[in-house]
């Protein structure tokens, strides 16, 4: 009787061991992913996806074509001030106005630098084709998340004298100088990054000029003010 009891006990132990081994194998297969451990005193860090963090992204959403659609007449304001002299201009003149819409993903961005490049086409004193190249750098600060506007312009006198726009490019860089986005529009055949190409800018037909200005220095400064961030 005692011998039978020992045999039964051994069988029970073997069965129990087999069940525990199988259960351990199953749990090992379904073991949940564990977070990576942080340094001592820190919080656990969960591994991110392969695509990386896009929370700092800035994207150019819309850029105007550099043609007649960029030509805008000087805005007219109503006022009740009595002029001491009659106005000289009989009709509003036309500015080259380049309004760009962009979007920032971060809750707050400390600083963004916008570098604009514009090419205009006109005639020289001999009546031959001539080109003018303009550039301007704007620095925006304290940019909240969402859509915003940026804008530069060329005054009517320069447009009348040196011609209308045929190419526009914009680079947006971070505070550290990293290019976050860039875009170019042209109505003539130009290299992809024509504003960096000496074969374009150093041609005798191209003259570098000053005059591309932020909209805050134009009559458009008071139009839709809240769409634009502070320029420093």
With cut-offs at 50, 70 and 90, classify the pLDDT of residue 17.
very low
With cut-offs at 50, 70 and 90, classify the pLDDT of residue 69.
confident
State residue 82 phi and psi, 5-degree precision: -80, 120
Distance CA 31, CA 153 (A): 62
pLDDT, average across residues 151-179: 96
pLDDT of residue 204: 95
Tell me whether strands 58-62 and 94-123 are parallel, antiparallel or unpaired.
Answer: antiparallel
CA distances (Å), origin 148, targets 33, 113, 151, 212: 41, 14, 10, 20
pLDDT, average across residues 14-24: 42
Distance CA 129, CA 122 (A): 6
Residue 44 has pLDDT above 80, yes or no: no
Q: Which of 145, 150, 88 is nearest to 113 (CA)?
A: 150
Name which residue leads in pLDDT, 74 or 149. 149
Q: Residue 182 is part of a domain; what is its CATH number? A: 2.60.40
Quick check: is 12 in a domain? no
Q: What is the mean pLDDT of the chain?
A: 81
Quick check: is 174 in a domain? yes
Is the separation of the CB atoms in 200 and 206 below 8 Å? Answer: yes
Quick check: is 165 in a domain? yes
Residue 31 has pLDDT above 90, yes or no: no
Cβ neighbours around 55 below 10 Å, total: 10
Please tell me the total count of domains within the chain: 1
Paired strand residues for 99: 151
Is the separation of the CB atoms in 100 and 151 below 8 Å? Answer: yes
pLDDT in tens, 111-147: 999 999 999 999 999 999 999 999 999 999 999 999 9
pLDDT of residue 19: 40
Quick check: is 220 in a domain? yes
Is the separation of the CB atoms in 205 and 122 below 8 Å? Answer: no
pLDDT of residue 3: 46
pLDDT of residue 161: 96
The parent domain of residue 160 ranges over 58-76+91-231
What value, to the nearest 5°, has the Cα angle with vertex 194 and ends 160 and 203?
A: 65
Quick check: is 127 in a domain? yes
Quick check: is 173 in a domain? yes
CA distances (Å), origin 160, targets 95, 116, 149, 156, 165: 9, 21, 26, 6, 11
Alpha helices in 131-232 (DSSP H): 156-162, 198-201
Quick check: is 81 in a domain? no
Is the separation of the CB atoms in 24 and 147 below 8 Å? Answer: no
Quick check: is 47 in a domain? no
CA distances (Å), origin 183, targets 110, 129, 169, 193, 202: 22, 26, 6, 9, 22
State residue 199 phi and psi, 5-degree precision: -65, -20
């Amino acid at each position: 009787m005692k011998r039978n009891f020992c045999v039964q006990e051994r069988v029970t132990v073997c069965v129990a061991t087999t069940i525990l081994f199988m259960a351990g194998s199953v749990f090992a297969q379904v073991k949940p992913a564990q977070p990576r451990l942080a340094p001592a005193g820190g919080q656990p860090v969960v591994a991110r996806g392969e695509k990386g963090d896009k929370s700092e992204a800035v994207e150019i959403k819309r850029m105007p074509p550099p043609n007649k659609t960029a030509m805008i007449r000087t805005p007219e304001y109503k006022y009740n001030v009595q002029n001491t002299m009659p106005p000289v201009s009989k009709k509003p003149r036309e500015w080259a106005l380049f309004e760009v819409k962009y979007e920032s993903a971060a809750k707050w961005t400390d600083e963004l630098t916008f570098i604009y490049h514009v090419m205009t086409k006109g005639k020289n004193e001999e009546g031959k084709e001539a080109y003018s190249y303009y550039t301007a750098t704007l620095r925006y600060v304290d940019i909240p998340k969402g859509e915003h506007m940026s804008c530069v312009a060329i005054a009517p006198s320069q447009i009348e004298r040196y011609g209308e726009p045929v190419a526009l490019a914009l680079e947006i860089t971070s505070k550290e100088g990293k290019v976050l986005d860039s875009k170019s529009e042209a109505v003539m055949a130009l290299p992809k990054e024509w504003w960096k190409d000496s074969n374009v800018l150093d041609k005798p037909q191209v003259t570098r000029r000053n005059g591309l200005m932020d909209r805050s220095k134009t009559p458009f400064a008071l139009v839709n003010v809240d769409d634009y961030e502070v320029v420093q």
